[in-house]
Amino acid sequence: MLDHIDATEPLLIGVYYIQLIFIFICGVGFLFGIFMFIYAFKNPHKRRLAYVLTVFMPLGLLLVIHGPVVILYYVFKQPATPDAELGLRLFVPTLEIAGANIYEGIVRVTQPLLVTVFIIGVVVLHHASRIPGRKRIGYGIFLGVPLLWCLMKVGPDIIKILTS
């Protein structure tokens, strides 16, 4: 009864969604590492954490993106093609719609927070006339929030390009 079911298509769908999750985690970890360099000052533990995050998160991103491709290239004899009789592709649009709704919810919550953090960064930068640590934090927030805003707007397109 189960002899005609091919497990490669659900496996590839699972790999796709694992890639979506880990691309986000590696990207946020890399940005967190960059901001930790600004925040670390002379603390060796924070600087080490920042170094580890800024080095290993891009490597993890490359591994998550290209690892399954390399594994699938060397494990399977031919590329996986969807089977119209099984109908497993019906689950993908439903998951994509749910993911898009979740992303829109996150965007609606995050936008006011980013504006508030940007205003706080401008205030910190304005009041940090002779304190270098506060200046670094103010500049980090002042430059990092617009970068995060742009990544939030372009994020779905980047993920589609990376995982296609």
B/e letters for 63-86, b = 16+ CB within 10 Å, e = fewer, are: ebbeebeeeeeeeeeeeeeeeeee
| Per-domain residue ranges of the chain | 1-78, 79-163
pLDDT at residue 59 in the model: 92
Cα distance between residue 156 and residue 14, in whole Å = 18
More confident residue, 78 or 58: 58
Mean per-residue pLDDT, 71-97: 59
> For the whole prediction, is pTM greater than 0.75?
no
Percent of the chain with pLDDT over 90: 4
Please tell me the distance from the alpha carbon of residue 158 to that of residue 141, in angstroms, as a whole number. 23
Average pLDDT for the chain: 76
23 and 103 Cβ atoms separated by less than 8 Å: no
Count of CB atoms situated within 10 Å of the CB of 47: 15
- Retrieve residue 33's tokens: 């590492």
Average pLDDT for residues 76-80, to the nearest whole number? Answer: 60
| pLDDT score recorded for residue 83 | 55
| 126 pLDDT higher than 60 | yes
Secondary structure (DSSP) of 38-92: HH-TT-HHHHHHHHHHHHHHHHHHHHHHHHHHHHHHHH-SS-----TTT-GGGHH
Task: Give me the pLDDT at residue 1, please.
Answer: 45
Q: Distance (Å, rounded) from C-alpha 100 to C-alpha 85? A: 27
Confidence tier at 71 by pLDDT (50, 70, 90): confident
Confidence label for 56 from pLDDT (cuts 50, 70 and 90): very high
Q: Which residue has the higher pLDDT, 92 or 150?
A: 150
